[in-house]
Amino acid sequence: MSASIPPSAAADATSATPASLTDAEKNIHVSLTHEPLQLTSTVDRVRSPKAGAIVLFAGTTRDNFQDQPVKTLSYSAYVPLALRTILSICQSVKEKHGLLGIAVTHRLGDVGIGEESVHVAVSAPHRKAAWEAGEETLELVKERVEVWKMECFEDGAVWRSNKDGQRGVRMDIDETKADEGK
């Protein structure tokens, strides 16, 4: 998301097991996982009897980019740094908006059409703070976190900036698969 050059598969520091950081005292939860995301689990992390609002954003893989059919998205990350960056974002946004809880979960690996790649959940005493904090968190995650997205098409793949509408560096699928074998 934030790096200008995506990592090669050989340099990918992902693992098959979920990775997470939690600050239970502040009700902040961040995680990266290869498993499908669970809406209820994400929302439950931010529930509070003091909350007047819980806002959940669920980002999904759409079937096209600029009218070109998308097969899948593939996310990779430098997990230790990505977790720390997400935690820092959550701490800052929670304090700024007076949130009761905040949770961010990002999926790694292949994410099929219609599947969720990111969840952002926030709880606050009032809805305005929750709405604003949820959107701000998502934009900061897309801008700063060390997660990279490869968009796969029938005829190739593109490492994509996570800024909406920006094209990335086009690659042939054969080239991508060759990198995975290194």
Residue 171 is assigned to a ligand binding site: no
Any known ligand binding at 26?
A: no
Q: Which residues neighbour 101 within 8 Å (Cβ) at sequence distance 6 or greater?
A: 27, 28, 29, 45, 46, 47, 48, 51, 94, 121, 122, 123
Is 106 annotated to bind a ligand? Reply is no
Using alpha carbons only, give the angle 139, 144, 146 rounded to the nearest 5 degrees.
Answer: 125
Q: Buried (b) or exposed (e) across 48-77, using 16+ Cβ within 10 A?
A: eeebebbbbbebebeeeeeeeebbbbbbbb
Q: Is 71 annotated as contributing to ligand binding?
A: no
Q: Is 96 annotated as a binding residue?
A: no
CA distance 134 to 147: 19
Q: Does the annotation flag 182 for ligand binding?
A: no
Closest CA relative to residue 64, chosen from 107, 113, 1, 115 = 113
Can you read off the two tokens belonging to residue 131? 């709405």
* Nearest by Cα to 155 from 80, 79, 65: 65
Residues annotated within a binding site for substrate: 126-127, 142, 149-151
